[in-house]
Amino acid sequence: DDKDEQYMFSFDKVFYEDSVQADVYEFLARPIVTDAVKAINGTVITYGQTGAGKTYTMEGASILETDNYKKGLLPRVVDELFEAINICGETAAYKIKLSMVEIYMERV
């Protein structure tokens, strides 16, 4: 590469092998869910090499997993969204749209 540009990258947080799903959710997704309840759109993007744990982070051991320890971000987001809506009672109306797209080997 003939470019003389240099880039500096920084991390907000690094999660190690012994990190649990709840820690990732608390740091990464809970603020987004809190904003979503206030009608602010949010997005979580996972990116990395194959086998790095992106799907596990998003879904957990299984998207239908009921073990709270193993739940991924998506089940936790859904649980907390509906919990927040229930707390608001009938004074507000909510429309929820949650999408997940997985691109694997250039296939959606």
Number of H helices, E strands in the chain: 4, 0
Binding-site members for ATP are 48-55
Binding-site members are 48-55
Please count the CA atoms within 13 angstroms of the CA of 20 that sit on its side-chain side: 9
C-alpha 89/C-alpha 23 separation (Å) is 29
